[in-house]
Amino acid sequence: MTEPDAGSNSHNISTTATRDGDIYRLNGTKYYISGCDEAEAVLVVTRTSRDEATGYGKLSLFVVDLDSPGIDKTLIPVEITAPEKQFTLFFDNVEVPRERLLGEEGEGLRQVFMGLNPERIMSAAMAVGIGRYALSKATSYATERSVWGTPIGRHQGLAHPLAKAKVDLEMAKLMYQKAAWEYDNDIDAGEAANMSKYAAAEAALACLDQAIQT
């Protein structure tokens, strides 16, 4: 889904799929696409038309084989991988059979968010886990290390920031659990998923920052 000039903003998707008889021709670029060196196919979000009322593109989803003529991929050098590699995908007049269209043409936005919401909830849960690990290491170190016979964790200047990081992390946990509950119960979880991902990311970064400073 993500693109160099759009990120994951579905309104700014510029990769197009143009109908040509029984095939579609895909043109555009996708950015930070995971695992292209292992997958046989990718799910590609494209713009097939434009909504005259809103001016936004109508989205359609296609299953595209990675060995299709016209597809090129370039490895993106990143410092951290977890564990899959990241790629830029280029689509140059790639022919995709009509039967590879998922659902109806122009109705892909709902399908996109059906995938994005659980992904964001999962990302929030992962961030909370990372924060917990960092906080656990920090509190253990603060308990074990002593200066002048006193564990450094007994000093308020160190203990209070760790406590605040713990509070923020627990609130983020509740937010992603609420989002997961809404999703599991067929409630529109878009808002809760977005907020939980943001809160969890911020909380995890605070935990990491405090762990480094401990």
Q: For position 147, which CATH number holds? A: 1.20.140.10
Query: How many domains does the chain fold into?
Result: 2
Boundary of a domain, candidates 45, 72, 105: 105
Distance of CA 208 to the CA centre of its chain: 20
Predicted confidence at residue 163, as pLDDT, reads: 93
Do 136 and 208 have their domain in common?
yes
Domain that holds residue 66: 10-105
Q: For position 60, which CATH number holds? A: 2.40.110.10
In this predicted structure, the answer to whether residue 179 has a pLDDT above a threshold of 90 is: yes
DSSP H helical ranges for the chain: 108-144, 156-184, 190-213
Query: Is 120 inside any structural domain?
Result: yes
- Residue 111, judged by CB atoms within 10 A of its CB (0-12, 13-18, 19+), counts as middle
106 vs 199, more confident: 199
Residues 6+ apart with CB under 8 A from 149: none
Q: What is the pLDDT of residues 126-155, one digit of tens each?
A: 999 999 999 999 999 888 888 888 887 788
Do 99 and 118 have their domain in common?
no
User: Please, are residues 162 and 155 in contact by the beta-carbon 8 Å criterion?
Assistant: no
Return d(Cα 41, Cα 26) in angstroms, integer.
Answer: 14
Percent of the chain with pLDDT strictly greater than 70: 95
In this predicted structure, the answer to whether residue 88 has a pLDDT above a threshold of 90 is: yes
Query: Is 4 inside any structural domain?
Result: no
In the structure, what pLDDT confidence band is assigned to residue 71 with cuts at 50, 70 and 90? very high
Predicted confidence at residue 144, as pLDDT, reads: 85
Q: What is the pLDDT averaged over residues 159-171? A: 94
Predicted confidence at residue 82, as pLDDT, reads: 66
Do 59 and 75 have their domain in common?
yes
Query: Is 5 inside any structural domain?
Result: no
Boundary of a domain, candidates 79, 105, 131: 105
Predicted confidence at residue 8, as pLDDT, reads: 66
Q: What is the pLDDT of residues 103-114, one digit of tens each?
A: 888 787 777 777
User: Please, are residues 203 and 172 in contact by the beta-carbon 8 Å criterion?
Assistant: yes
Predicted confidence at residue 7, as pLDDT, reads: 64
Q: Which residue has the tokens 């990302």?
A: 123
In this predicted structure, the answer to whether residue 177 has a pLDDT above a threshold of 90 is: yes
Query: Is 77 inside any structural domain?
Result: yes
In the structure, what pLDDT confidence band is assigned to residue 57 with cuts at 50, 70 and 90? confident
Query: Is 1 inside any structural domain?
Result: no
Do 117 and 188 have their domain in common?
yes
Distance of CA 38 to the CA centre of its chain: 19
Please give the model's pTM, rounded to 2 decimal places: 0.71
Boundary of a domain, candidates 87, 105, 123: 105
Instruction: List, in sequence order, every residue forming a beta bridge with 46; answer none if it has no partner.
Output: 60
**Identity of residue 169:** L
**Identity of residue 157:** G
Q: Using alpha carbons only, what angle is made at residue 31 by residues 27 and 37, rounded to the nearest 5 degrees?
A: 95
6 vs 155, more confident: 155
Predicted confidence at residue 1, as pLDDT, reads: 76
Give, rounded to a whole angstrom, the gap between the first and last alpha carbons of the chain. 39
Predicted confidence at residue 196, as pLDDT, reads: 96
Do 14 and 71 have their domain in common?
yes
Q: What is the pLDDT of residues 95-104, one digit of tens each?
A: 999 999 988 8
Which has the closest alpha carbon to 118: 34, 192, 170, 173?
192
